[in-house]
Each structure stands twice: as structure tokens, then as C-alpha cells.
């Protein structure tokens, strides 16, 4: 792995070019050889692809006026890309982005553009990590969330290591019901996605709120803990 320092011509670069991957971690920008893409055909990969397919098909069924409305909404609601730049999506991309999130929750696509802004983020988040007589659960505020708000939880297990950069390790673990309440038991979902927990494992969760009326999401909050057993 080689570290790089972008210059005047290239300020930042992220992604794959041929067999080379440009990325960042806490140490800065670096370049590494990229492995050949694989197609594991897991149930999780299939769920993501099905969600994207559902949203894309729904776009095809919109009227011309609805598509124009999405184009205008996208112009007024730019997003941040993974290197922090503000970008404006095309109308179809904005539609698919929001509706594919809903599809993964089992919610039908929404044709109308969002009538409200994105939800505010969680105020607090912590993780109880007792796999014995205690509880393995996410604890958050506000509690409960709003009527149309659900908590979405991603997670990873770095085992008994000092790893703290987790951006490339997080996977979707579970999502709460509408007006999600705290605490939320996530042990079964966490182990189904990431394997059996063991005492001493260093586990992480990252959570955000999704508005189930339109697919908009809040900012993300992270928490971690070491697994115990009572």
C-alpha cells in the first residue's frame, strides 16, 4: 500500500481505476491494488439488487409531470459524495436513492417528492453488549422516535482488536418499526448478520433515522462496546 498526497491538479480521488483503488483512512489518502470483483450471490447482495430494481421499475411508471418534479427536487436538495463534495443528482437518481431505501424496509415506492425535510439525527446512542443474563441492545434518544421515523442500525465486529477505522466494515444489521422505541434488542439480528458473539469482542454500531414516508435519512451516530457475559 502506498500513501499519496494529492496536488494542485487532483485535489481528492476516491474509487477504482482499472486495477488500482484510491481510498482514504485516518492516516490520509492511499493507493492499493484492487482485487478482482466477485459475485458472492448472498441473500444480502440480492436484497440490495432487488431494492434497486424495484425503485428503478417504479421510476418507469411515473408520469412526465412527476419526473419533472423529481428533477426540480433534486436540484434543490444536493447531497454529499464520499469525499465530501456537494453534488446534484439527476431526478431519476434521487428517486431511486430514496425509494430503494424504502424497498429494503418492505415499503412500496413513493411517487411524490418529499413534502418535508430530512429527519433530525439521534440525540444519543449507546450499546449494551452483555450476551449473558444482561442485554445486547441499542439505547437511543429521542425515545420514542416520531410517528413516521424508524431507526436503522449498521454494525461490525472487529473482534478483540484495536481496530477503530470501521467505515469499510459496517453492514446493515436491522431496522426498527415506525416510531421506534428504546432500548432495542439487536443480538439476534447482529449475530445472524455477523456471526456468533464472544466475550471480549469489540463491536460497533452506527445508527440513523429514516422517514418511512419518503426515504430521507438523518445524520449518523456511532457507538461501540466490548462484549461481556454475566
63 within a domain of the structure (yes/no): yes
Residue 142 and residue 81 share a domain: no
Grid cell for residue 86:
456537494
Residue 148 and residue 84 share a domain: no
Residue 160 and residue 87 share a domain: no
Q: What is the pLDDT of residue 86?
A: 87
**Domain span at 9:** 2-33
Sheet holding 171-175, edge to edge: 171-175, 149-157, 202-211, 221-226
Confidence check: pLDDT of 44 > 90: no
What's the CA gap between 156 and 223, in Å, rounded?
Answer: 11
Q: What is the pLDDT of residues 119-166, one digit of tens each?
A: 999 999 999 999 999 999 999 999 999 999 999 999 999 998 888 899
Counting the structural domains of the chain, the total is 3
The candidate with the shortest Cα–Cα distance to 92, out of 113, 70, 114, is 70
109 within a domain of the structure (yes/no): no
11 within a domain of the structure (yes/no): yes
Lowest-confidence range among 8-17, 63-72, 142-151, 170-179? 8-17
Q: What is the pLDDT of residue 32?
A: 66
Residue 139 and residue 95 share a domain: no
Residue 131 and residue 217 share a domain: yes
Q: What is the pLDDT of residue 6?
A: 62
What's the CA gap between 158 and 136, in Å, rounded?
Answer: 16
Q: What is the pLDDT of residues 180-229, one digit of tens each?
A: 999 999 999 999 999 999 999 999 999 999 999 999 999 999 999 999 99
Confidence check: pLDDT of 8 > 70: no
Residue 54 and residue 26 share a domain: no
More confident call, 206 vs 10: 206
Q: Is 101 exposed, middle or buried (0-12, 13-18, 19+ CB in 10 A)?
A: buried
Q: What is the pLDDT of residue 202?
A: 97
What's the CA gap between 161 and 120, in Å, rounded?
Answer: 33
Residue 92 φ/ψ, nearest 5 degrees: -65, -35
Confidence tier at 85 by pLDDT (50, 70, 90): confident
Residue 47 and residue 19 share a domain: no
Contacts of 19 (CB under 8 A, 6+ apart): 33, 34
pTM: 0.81
Q: What is the pLDDT of residues 94-126, one digit of tens each?
A: 999 999 999 999 999 999 999 999 999 999 999
Confidence check: pLDDT of 90 > 80: yes
Q: What is the rounded average pLDDT for all residues in the chain?
A: 88
Residue 49 and residue 8 share a domain: no
Percent residues over pLDDT 90 in the chain: 71
Residue 213 and residue 144 share a domain: yes
What's the CA gap between 49 and 167, in Å, rounded?
Answer: 21
Q: What is the arithmetic mean of pLDDT over 51-65? A: 95
More confident call, 48 vs 141: 141
Residue 132 CA from chain centroid, whole number: 29
22 within a domain of the structure (yes/no): yes
Residue 139 and residue 60 share a domain: no
Residue 196 and residue 130 share a domain: yes
Amino acid at each position: 500500500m502506498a500513501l499519496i498526497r494529492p496536488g494542485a491538479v487532483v485535489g481528492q480521488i476516491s474509487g477504482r481505476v482499472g486495477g488500482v483503488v484510491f481510498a482514504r483512512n485516518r492516516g490520509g489518502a492511499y493507493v492499493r491494488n484492487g482485487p478482482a470483483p466477485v459475485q458472492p450471490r448472498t441473500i444480502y447482495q440480492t436484497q440490495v439488487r432487488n431494492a434497486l430494481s424495484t425503485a428503478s421499475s417504479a421510476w418507469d411508471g411515473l408520469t412526465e409531470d412527476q419526473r419533472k418534479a423529481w428533477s426540480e427536487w433534486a436540484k434543490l436538495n444536493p447531497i454529499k459524495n464520499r469525499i465530501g463534495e456537494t453534488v446534484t443528482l439527476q431526478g431519476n437518481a434521487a428517486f431511486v436513492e430514496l425509494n430503494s431505501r424504502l424497498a429494503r424496509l418492505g415499503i412500496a415506492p413513493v411517487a411524490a417528492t418529499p413534502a418535508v425535510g430530512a429527519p433530525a439525527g439521534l440525540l444519543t446512542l449507546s450499546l449494551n453488549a452483555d450476551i449473558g443474563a444482561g442485554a445486547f441492545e441499542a439505547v437511543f434518544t429521542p425515545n420514542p422516535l416520531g410517528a413516521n421515523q424508524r431507526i436503522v442500525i449498521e454494525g461490525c465486529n472487529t473482534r478483540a482488536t484495536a481496530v477503530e477505522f470501521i467505515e469499510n466494515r459496517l453492514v446493515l444489521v436491522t431496522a426498527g418499526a415506525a416510531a421506534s422505541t428504546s432500548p432495542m434488542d439487536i443480538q439476534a439480528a447482529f449475530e445472524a448478520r455477523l456471526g456468533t458473539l464472544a466475550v471480549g469482542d469489540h463491536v460497533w454500531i452506527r445508527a440513523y433515522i429514516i422517514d418511512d414516508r419518503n426515504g430521507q435519512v438523518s445524520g449518523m451516530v456511532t457507538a461501540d462496546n466490548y462484549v461481556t457475559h454475566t
